[in-house]
Structure 1
Amino acid sequence: MAGGEEEGAAAGTETESEAVVEELRSFKDLGVTDVLCEACDQLGWKVPTKIQVEAIPVALQGRDVIGLAETGSGKTGAFALPILQALLETPQRLFALVLTPTRELAFQISEQFEALGSSIGVQTTVIVGGIDTMSQSLALAKKPHVIIATPGRLVDHLENTKGFNLRALKFLVMDEADRILNMDFETEVDKILKVIPRDRKTFLFSATMTKKVQKLQRAALKNPVKCAVSSKYQTVEKLQQYYIFIPSKFKDSYLVYILNELAGNSFMIFCSTCNNTQRTALLLRNLGFTAIPLHGQMSQNKRLGSLNKFKAKARSILLATDVASRGLDIPHVDVVINFDIPTHSKDYIHRVGRTARAGRSGKSITFVTQYDVELFQRIEHLIGKKLPAFPMQEEEVMMLTERVAEAQRIARMELREQGEKKRSRNDNDDDTEEAIGVRNKVAGGKKKKRKAF
């Protein structure tokens, strides 16, 4: 479809949705059963969102659904409610599978399923990397109703966990499908599609309709209904967006200046690498800020710990890589700072979408160095607006450089120490494995090696 037609279609859908939302005041009007309406009420979901208005009635009719909606639009409810309602009608184990791109999003979806299905006894299991496979195998053996998984780890279990299969599956959901495919999970998704029943319902949710998503749609869905509430790239109206143009070597000083200027707010600061996320968190801590990191090189427990501390407002600054830019529902982010400008312009939309959620206002500030001008122009072109400069007092920034330089030095030392500790731990693990190997050889022949679960 040509761009103009698509936008026109999207605009039409938008207007229709608004009219429908006016008429539909409750989930009951959408066809949701009483027990689930009560669960929505307990979660504080008073009125269905646009994507829920579009998708739920269609899904309840038993159709496949493609949902195009930006982050924070209530997508989880749009697929969880129809699945739970179908489960109520025909109770069955291993009923639904939800595929997600990141571990954090998987845990969040699981929480929503459990909250919505608490009164009907729904059991869910999260299958993601970074967690012991044996405990996951035991959880799968109990046959939960809903599995929420990242594609890589699920394929591991399908190939290696004895007795586990998805041959009875009734629902497949692919959430953030564009991101699953961008993270090179195509091979894993193909393997999953080959071993699940063809006779199933499929929901595909994505913020953007890329070529890869269209290909997946053709492969996985039968005569789907498209529910699009916004196909244009856009940022929320209540979001005040700014940029600051700065020399690369003073980035840290400008960051400290902004955190001081906007003190009292909660911040999400996006960095491009795990290393820079960790370094900047240490730097800010050395300067007295309550900052915590969240990135892919942390263990799953530490990642969830960071997220929970920030959600509980025990920390006011969360530094993250793009692992946290989409799907995570953190309600109280006041300011998003793009410390490192995103390489892909679309990631800008998802990052700044962490603030100004659910009708609140918020700010975003993007750092633009002499090396980032072209990337920044691409972002402005994508969102269709020129951003204003954030007002700065440069002499005040320069007064901070000495203190910041000292904090940088300490952060570098701490980072080096952490790296050394990690290396020595890995060496010890290798030694232990070697020792176990020797013991097994000695014991070889005496008893057979026991198979994993």
Structure 2
Amino acid sequence: MEEEEAALSFKDLGIIDELCEACSQLGWKAPTPIQKEAIPLALKDKDVIGLAETGSGKTGAFGLPLLQALIARPQRLFALILTPTRELAFQIKEQFDALGKAIGVTCVVVVGGIDMTQQAVELGKRPHIIVATPGRLVDHLEKTKGFNLKALKYLVMDEADRILNLDFEEEVDKILKVLPRERRTMLFSATMTSKVNKLQRAHLKEPVKVEVSSKYQTVTKLQQYMLFIPCKHKHMYLAYILNEIGNQAVIVFCATQQSTLKTALMLRNLGFTAIPLYGKMSQNKRLGALNKFKVKERSILLATDVASRGLDIPSVDYVINFDVPMHSKDYIHRVGRTARAGKSGIAITFVSQYEVEVYQRIEQLLGTKLDVYPTVKEEALVLEERIAEAERFAKMEMSRLDVKSGKKGKKRELMDDDTEESLGVRKRIKGKKKDKKFRK
């Protein structure tokens, strides 16, 4: 029985040959557990709520049935996919472009940070699929002449819990009011919240719930560690660990934009190839930062939780929680950036004296105690003077670039190629010669 299940193909699930061929070209050899459960239901025109751990193939689980329905009943403005972040929207579009290439599917991204006029022109061409963040879609529904979704046949919410947790509830309500009642609706998320429960009761017709993981969990190939260190030594241990693991792909999650920028500047001063990603960067710079990390021009991505959901960067070796996430479920999403698509990965969480209680809630959620990440204290302490110097540099640069919160005026953005000088790559702290690479 197990062998039969393992041999199950996309064709066995009811997917047509054209889409099976597209899956093959994308390297999707066999359906994932969530795809096995959700696709047959969606093909029977059922509303679906899909719950599965992050990195488990949720995009394919809603994308394939949606495209198959579009092929059967071709129509412009056929489907709307709502996502919480811009990056996830572009990623979903990439997958739809790849899956629908042979059948001529048009897909448009509608997110903030990009000129509305250009988006209005693209919407005027009436694409088959719109991938949008709720806020910008509401702007177009209210202001773009002639644009409406009255004929829509499919609505998908990816990371549905996050959409509602990011204060999009008002926008989502506005969107749902202008959509036709006769439609198929699919909600997908790694976690289920009371807000998503509320949404399913209000807007889904006899939904079928598909749950691949009944409890909050991380993938089995992920090794998880913690490190209890004083708050003042966090940067020191971060540099020590990055130096030890060599030139591997690492995402470092920080709690705030301020912390992200300061840590990025400090690491760049030490010679690491670090680049930050945070919500207030312009869309071009956010995509630029992400692409540089994907193609390994930069080995360290410093990020706020804007990067914790849905981003598929297969080559991430390490995730480091520089700050413990305030919400336990966010931990699952952060560490889900590594150990994707069957690969292994390592997650390390720094816990300071101020974060013990929050961290204990994460252990409670996971139902396990994490091992302590092995470090040599004496080797880390050797770096103390260099780190203090780099922190002073970062503080001066942040002050000079006027990136402190609360300041009026337009904030300067960092970490694109035009600002290498700002990052201390050309000049280190005044009076010092240019350092050699910090790495061994």
Q: Are positions 1:252 and 2:235 aligned together?
A: yes
- Pick aligned residue for 1:230 from 210, 213, 230: 213
Tell me if 1:198 matches 2:178: no
Measured in 1, the distance between the counterparts of 2:4 and 2:189 equals 22
Deviates more, 1:36-45 or 1:237-246: 237-246
Report what 2:6 is aligned to: 22
- Unaligned segments of structure 2, at least 5 residues: 412-440
Question: Could you tell me the percent identity over the aligned residues?
Answer: 70
Say which SS state the counterpart of residue 165 (structure 1) adopts: coil
SS of alignment partner, residue 340 of structure 2:
coil
- 5+ residue gaps, structure 1, are 1-15, 428-453
Q: Distance in 1 between matches of 2:404 and 2:168?
A: 32
Q: Does 1:217 align with 2:197?
A: no
Q: What TM-score, normalized to structure 2?
A: 0.90
Counterparts of residues 11-410 of structure 1 (less than 5 Å): 21-24=5-8, 26-410=9-393
Report the Cα distance in structure 2 between the residues aligned to 1:259 and 1:119, rounded to whole angstroms: 43
Deviations 1:101-153 (A, max 9, x none): 11000000010001000011111111111111111111111110000001111
User: 1:67 aligns to what SS in structure 2?
Assistant: strand
Shift of 1:402: 0.9
**Comparing both structures, which one devotes a greater share of its residues to helix?**
1
- In the TM superposition, residue 187 of structure 1 has moved relative to its aligned partner by 1.0
Match of 2:425 in 1: none
Distance 1:70 1:420, change over 3 A: closer
| Whole-angstrom CA distance in 1 between matches of 2:210 and 2:25 | 26
C-alpha contact (below 8 Å) 2:191/2:329 kept by paired residues: no
Measured in 1, the distance between the counterparts of 2:234 and 2:179 equals 50
The alignment partner of 2:12 has SS state of helix
- CA deviation vs aligned residue, 1:34-75 (integer Å, no higher than 9, x gap): 111110000000101111111111111111111111211101
CA displacement at 1:231 relative to structure 2: 2.2
- Aligned-residue CA RMSD in angstroms? 1.7
Matched AA of 2:348: I
Tell me the CA shift for residue 247 of structure 1. 1.0
In the TM superposition, structure 1's runs of 4+ consecutive aligned residues that sit over 2 Å from their partners are 18-23, 420-427
> How far 1:363 sits from its partner (Å)?
0.9
Distance 1:116 1:425 in 2: 44
> For residues 347 and 19 of structure 1, what CA distance do their matches in structure 2 show?
35
TM-superposed deviation, 1:420 = 6.8
Pairing 1:419–2:375 present: no
Does the 8 A contact of 2:53 with 2:219 survive in 1? no
Measure how far apart 1:370 and its partner are. Answer: 0.8
Residue pair 2:258, 2:404 contacting (<8 A) in 1 also: no
Q: CA deviation at 1:331?
A: 0.3
Q: Distance in 1 between matches of 2:189 and 2:336?
A: 15
Using the size of structure 1 for normalisation, the TM-score is 0.88
Counterpart residue type for residue 154 of structure 1? L
Residue identity in the other structure for 2:242: L
Cα pair distance change 1:414/1:334, threshold 3 Å: same
Q: 1:85 to 1:292 in 2, by over 3 A?
A: same
1:19 shift after superposition: 7.3
Counterpart AA for 2:385: E
Query: Which amino acid is the alignment partner of residue 235 of structure 2?
Result: D
Aligned counterparts of 1:421 and 1:319: Cα–Cα separation in 2: 17
Kindly provide the amino acid, as one letter, of the partner of residue 222 in structure 2.
Answer: L
2:343 & 2:56 partners in 1: Cα distance? 14
Alignment partners' CA distance in 2, 1:418 and 1:163: 43
The answer for the alignment partner of 1:11 in structure 2 is none
Shift, 1:21, TM fit: 3.2
The answer to whether the 8 Å contact 2:53/2:218 transfers is no
Q: What's the CA shift for 1:361? A: 1.3
Query: What letter corresponds to residue 309 of structure 1 in structure 2?
Result: K
Query: Which AA in structure 2 matches 1:27?
Result: F
1:23 deviates by: 4.8
- State the secondary structure of the residue aligned to 1:264: coil
Letter of the 1:41 counterpart: S
Distance 1:426 1:277 in 2: 18
In 2, are the aligned partners of 1:21 and 1:48 still within 8 Å (CA)?
Answer: no
Quote how far apart the aligned CAs of 1:20 are: 6.7
Distance 1:326 1:78 in 2: 17
1:22 to partner: Cα distance = 2.4
Deviation (angstroms), 1:421: 11
Amino acid at match of 1:166: L
How far apart, in 1, do the equivalents of 2:214 and 2:308 lie?
Answer: 19
Partner residue, 1:4? none
